[in-house]
Chain A
């Protein structure tokens, strides 16, 4: 599969999931930035 085909298929499989994955990504980014901040406060 080429890049265009993969991107098109990605949009297709993501169609029912945009809402839930945005929430999941928000949690992911919150946990990641929270943990990174703690690390820098402790060891930075």
Chain B
């Protein structure tokens, strides 16, 4: 029930970090302000990934990669419905799933560190991976400007 709102809040946190804005726990909880839409997205993504996983594990992974940009798109496009954001994510990820998988797989050492530290290291590994995800999202936007409802990428800033 709360995975959708929490995921939307987490997407907001990392979109703000990418812009250099301050973040707090309130930002994480901001997903609950858009409860219905984020709930629908969370439930549908969980359902679709589960159903694809029944075929074997790989279709489930491919589906999860395809929907991975949904909450970033929803946060930047408040007028977009949950299903449209999911469709936009699928379109955006077309031809890029292997690249995202490769990027996430490159965190394997950090994930193992998280496991052997009884999950404590995940408090830093998780944000690290989410920051990489938001940068991947920006990279996709810069690569592919064909989707009218997905905001254009901001000009790359050096800090």
Residues of A within 8 A of B (CB): 1, 3-4, 6-7, 9-14, 17-18, 20-29, 31-32, 35, 39
Contact = CB atoms under 8 A, between A and B. Distances in A.
Given A24-B25, A25-B123, A13 B18 contact: yes
Contacts of A28: 6, 9-10, 28
Contact of A3 (B3, B9, B106): B106
A43 to B, nearest CB: 11
A12 B156 CA distance: 14
A25 to B, nearest CB: 5
Nearest to A34: B2
Nearest to B135: A6
Contact of B124 (A3, A22, A39): A22
A4 B99 CA distance: 12
A28 to B, nearest CB: 6
B131 A3 contact: no
Contact of B131 (A10, A24, A29, A32): A10
28 contacts: A1-B135, A4-B106, A6-B103, A6-B132, A6-B135, A7-B107, A7-B128, A10-B131, A10-B132, A10-B135, A13-B17, A13-B131, A13-B159, A14-B127, A18-B127, A20-B23, A21-B13, A21-B17, A22-B124, A23-B25, A24-B10, A24-B24, A24-B28, A25-B127, A27-B25, A27-B28, A28-B10, A28-B28
